[in-house]
Structure 1
Amino acid sequence: MSNIKMILVMILFLGCTTSHAQKVIVGAERTSEYFPLLENQRIAVFSNHTGLVGDKHLVDFLLENNFDVIGIFAPEHGFRGTADAGEHVANSVDEKTGLPIFSLYGGNKEGIDAKILNGFDVLLVDIQDVGVRFYTYYITMVKLMDVCALNDKKMIILDRPNPNGHYVDGPILDMKHKSGVGWLPIPVVHGMTLGELANMVNGEGWLPDGRKCDLEVITCDNYAHQTLYTVPVPPSPNLPNMKSIYLYPSTCYFEATPVSLGRGTSKPFQVYGHPNMKGYDFSFTPRSMPGAKNPPQLNKKCYGVDLSDIPNEKIFEEGIDLSYVIDAYNNLNMGNHFFRPFFEKLIGVDYVREMIIQGKPAEEIEAMWIDDVEKFKKQRRPYLLYEE
């Protein structure tokens, strides 16, 4: 480890120790800040199972306090967070409250109809993101910002910490690769909360035609970017714990290859392997399970690597680590057949695939985006709501 990296890791863990002295108060818990804004308003909520106020869901909490909630907008994985990645989620009704759930990941691809739009005045956002460009919750939020801008609706974001908020890494998305897993010109790991990112969307004119959303952010208390925040509930089925969340920016690229990254096991995003990989003692077999009904390499014994014992401080030191993808690429010896077109949508640029095929080491490839990281840190600074 270089001296600079060692100092950064030490600072990070000192910050972690300090942060435990005061509990982080998420935006949804700061009721004195947003309850007055909801008086006499018809409220729609964009949330899922992570939108908790203590041990109660935000929707239940609002209804208990006699607010007029008219419906729920749900992201990928659905309102209860149980659907597979990319699975079509239909409109439905919440069994507990009887409120309509409007799916924004499959149920309303043609847009939100006028009847729904005319039903609410304020859109309240409360959802746990993980701060990675290909994690889709922020994309849904940005699309809803544009809906609000077009229809003179106010958006209030009840902010939550970013569990990967302590660093920035990866190339800025080349917008020719814009897709449902990459929507904004930001690095893979942007280090911002949803509230900060929404401010940046407005400030940088990233909505179509430069539209602005009427936006208010209810910030967290006792949170800074170097706070190592542990999410209280898994944000989606295949990010079951902090190790998966920390490794996610380095292992998600296997989604664009034949290699399993552990969907259908107890360690999604913490292992990688393939039936034809040679020279490994470790093995696993993906099975069908809730949240991974048909995982890659289903019921096939895969040989590869278990990353789950890597200390968190080493993951933080390395940031995005392409050595895992390079290892599997070299082992399988498939050439360009190893990669699917989806790879560029995830990594966001053309040169990474090209350099891997050329045999370049991970360190050389990762050095290519250093300027992107520094550029973005400077660009995002006016929109930050918490100490770096």
Structure 2
Amino acid sequence: MRKEWLGISLASLMLAACSTNQQQNYTAPPLPAYNGQVVEIPGIEPKYEPRNPTANNDYSVNGVRYKIVTDTQNFSQIGLASIYGPEAQGNRTASGEAFDGDAFTAAHPTLPIPSYVRVTNLANNRQIVVRINDRGPFIPGRIIDLSPAAATRLNTSNNSRVRIDVINVAPDGTLSGPGTIGTRVAKQSYDLPARPDLDGGMVTSEPSSSSSSALAPVTTSTTDAVSDVRPVDNSELQNNGSIGAPIRTNGLQGAPQPLRSGVLESDDDTPTPTPVTKTVRPAPVVAPVETTSPHTTPAVSPAVKTPTASNHGTGKGFVVQVAAVNNSERANELQKKLAQHYNVAGHVEAVNGNIYRVQLGGYPNRSDASALQHRLAQDNINSFITSNNN
């Protein structure tokens, strides 16, 4: 009887030794005291969570009994890491949560659920913080089963040795344990940046009486501000002979505009100028132009600088083309109407016997032609400047 009892006792001790070896063979040595720089590592931020009431009971798998660790204050392990397979996506973990391969999670056979551990790949010293929410792996030599996202950040394979160090979180959020030594989790902020200062940097608060360099608040009179505001006016601008200079108009001279679609080289109806009533303003008196020849009479510019053709029909200078039609009578009628309306010379130029170009002016310089073009633009008549050197 005593021999049978002795045999049963020895068998019990061997089973107990097997179960304890499963949990103790991979215990890591404690980390030495650390006084260096604290570095930031990626991972999920540890926070206090109550333990899951259904996932923290002792259990057995494949004849091996696993006892849940109750004191994790100095818990560390070294062993092989495994990686969840793609078939685990969407399955329920021991915590009751759906498995997400893109989350920084892991499975451990005996650590409380949930808990947080820092995982270090001993081959490259990469580190990450993961949340334990599942049980496993149940393979000898393997101590943790990593999600694909966590394994990718650590660059681990199924043959990588890792070290896991627990991070304990107190109810007040205080962190402790070997996983906090020398590192902290990098926090990502998604807060929007501060709004820009739209006041132009003006001082809005009262200046400090103790600071002599503080700027006083800027105060302005509403009446003065309103009276000092004037509308944009180009009436004072003068034409000094440069191309594109404004000629006493209510807008700036723009680039030459193309003829409307169907007018150039077509038989559309001819444009009709819109009469415009203009206020006649006295023009500045231009000084006589002196010449180098003593026998030449000085030329005096006219009092009103109205663009007039000086050499049309001579085949020289610049002209303003307003239309090109395929009817000679209509072209001549339009030329006479425009020449009379704008008090300028004009002519019709035949091209290939079936196209008639209506042209105004005949100026020795481009600036005078540009002035006439601008007058036409005020009446919504498209035109362009061309040289006539035939």
Bucket of the pairwise TM-score, normalised by the shorter protein: under 0.3
TM-score by length of 2: 0.17
TM-score by length of 1: 0.17
Higher helix share: 1
Higher relative contact order (CA 8 A, sep 6+): 1
